[in-house]
Amino acid sequence: MPTTPTNPHLPFGDDKNAPWYGKDILSVKQFSHDDLQYVFGVAHEMRGMVERLGTFDLLKGKILANLFYEPSTRTSSSFTAAMERLGGSVIPISEVKYSSVSKGESLPDTVRTLECYADVIVLRHPETGSAALAAKYARKPVINAGDGVGEHPTQALLDAFTIMEELGRLDNLTVTMLGDLKYGRTVHSLARLLSNFSGIKLNYVSPDILRMPRDVIEEVGQKGIPQAEFNALEQVLPDTDVLYVTRVQKERFEDQAVYESVKGAFVIDPDVMKAARHDMIVMHPLPRVGEISVDFDDDPRAAYFRQMEYGLYVRMALLAMVLGKA
C-alpha cells in the first residue's frame, strides 16, 4: 500500500489537548476572564489573517452543519463565511420545513444524524435549553446560535470583541442596554459576560413590561457589578460608553396588541445622540426595525455595521478552537 506523503503545506493534525477541543459552546457562563482574553486574541489573529490572505486552510476538510430552526441572516451567514474562510465546508439546513424535522423528527435524532456527516453543529432553536439538549446527545461539538429567549453566547462574544477593538478595553465601562431586555437573548448573554470585567457598570433602560429578567440581574449582582434600571434614556446617556440597542422581539409576544404598545418606546436618532459623548459607541445585534434611525448611520459612533464584521472573526476563532486548531 502506498503511504500518504506528509504535505508540509497542510495544517497540523487536531490538537486534542487544546483547551477547547471538542467542547460545546452553550452559554457565556463557560467563559472565565482568561478564556475571554484567549478568544479575543485568536479572533484578533483571525482578523489579521483575513485582511492578509482572505481565505486559508486551517480547517481544510472539516465540515460544519448549520442547523437553523429560526430565521437568521447574520449568525447563519457569518458561520458559513467563517468556515469557508478557514477552508472548511458547510451543510446548510435553514429551511427545516424541507428536512425530516417537518416529518416530526426529534432534535436529538436530527443532531445524531448530522454528526455522522459533520465535525461541528451550529444550532439555532426557538426553545430555551435546546442547545444543551442537543449537546447531550451529540458526540461532536454543538455551538448555541440562540436558544429562544435564553442565550446567544457567540453574539455576546462578538459584542465584547467589538467593544475591545473599538474602545480598547473591557474594564471601567458604563454600558447601557436599551429596549427589549426581557426577550432579547443577546443582552442576557452580554450582561453575564461583562460581569467578568472590573469597573463595569450596567444600566438597563426598558419599558416596564420588558425589564431584564431577575435571574440575570441576580447572577450579575453576585459578581459585584452595579446595575440600575430606568425607563428613560436621558438620565444615563451622557455617562454611557456603550449604548447597546435592541429590537422589541415581536415573535415572542402572545398578544400582538401588547407588542404594538411598546414597539416604538425608544428611537435613537441624531437629535437624541446630541446628549451622548463623542468617544462612545452605539451597538445593535441587528436586525433593527425602527429603533435606530437610518439618519444616525453615518455618525462615527454608529458601530453596528462594524460589529457584524467582528462577528466573522469571533466565529472563526470559535470554530478553530472547538476543532483543535487554536
Contact set with ligand ASP (CB under 6 A): 146, 152, 185-186, 247, 285
- CA dist., res. 239 & res. 230, Å (int): 14
CB of 191 to ligand ASP, least distance (A): 14
- Using the minimum distance from each CB to ligand ASP, give the nearer residue, 77 or 113: 77
Taking residue 231's Cβ as centre, other Cβ atoms within 10 Å add up to 14
Q: How far is the CB of 185 from ligand ASP (least distance, A)?
A: 5
CA distance 215 to 170: 23
CB of 192 to ligand ASP, least distance (A): 15
Closest distance to ligand ASP from the beta carbon of 190 (Å):
11
Compare residues 146 and 324 and give the one whose CB is closer to ligand ASP.
146
Residue 66's DSSP bridge partners are 92, 122
Q: For residues 38, 42, 43 and 44, what is the CA-based torsion angle, rounded to 10 degrees?
A: 100
* Residue 186 or 203 having the CB closest to ligand ASP: 186
Q: How far is CA 318 from CA 42, 73, 121, 315, 324, in A?
A: 9, 19, 12, 5, 10
The Cα 33–Cα 226 span in angstroms is 18
Nearest residue (CB) to ligand ASP, 141 versus 146: 146
CB of 316 to ligand ASP, least distance (A): 19
Residue 25 and residue 294: Cα distance in Å, rounded?
34
For ligand ASP, the closer CB: 236 or 248 = 248
